[in-house]
Amino acid sequence: MGNVCCSDEHSEQRRRNEAIERVLNRDKKNARRELKLLLLGTGESGKSTFIKQMRIIHGAGYTPEDRKDFRIRVYENIYKGIRTLVEAMDNLHIEYEEEINAVRFHHHDNVVEISQSPISALRLFYWTPIP
């Protein structure tokens, strides 16, 4: 009887070992196909942009939630760019070609929070009547 018990234990161990070996071989195959890349660079050098581009080109793209977040960031960047240009024009004493633009840009210093209504901040510059 001792041999039957040992034989059952031995076959169970062999089965478990084979299952583990299959998992290890599968993981090894997957690891061979996987490419690891270390991106070095200073802040704002484009590391994240590179990863995002690879994700668009070779991956599944972006989820609707990701797109919504990026849309808000794009509007924020446009707004910040406009504000930076307006401030630079003021600092360098550069006059506007049309006086209405000077009034429009300076009238809307306190803009609505962009994350709440992204396009509203940009509309303030161009579509809001000036009092």
User: How would DSSP label each residue in 4-39?
Assistant: HHHHHHHHHHHHHHHHHHHHHHHHHHHHHH------
* Of 116, 114, 47, nearest in space to 125 by CA: 114
**How far are the Cα atoms of 34, 86, 101, 124 from residue 110, in angstroms, in the given order?**
49, 14, 16, 10
What is residue 103's predicted lDDT score, i.e. its pLDDT? 66
The pTM of this model reads 0.45
pLDDT tens readout for residues 42-97 = 888 888 888 888 888 887 777 888 888 888 888 878 878 888 888 888 889 888 78
pLDDT tens readout for residues 90-120 = 889 888 787 766 666 665 554 444 445 556 6
Q: How would residue 25 be classed by pLDDT, with cut points 50, 70 and 90?
A: very high
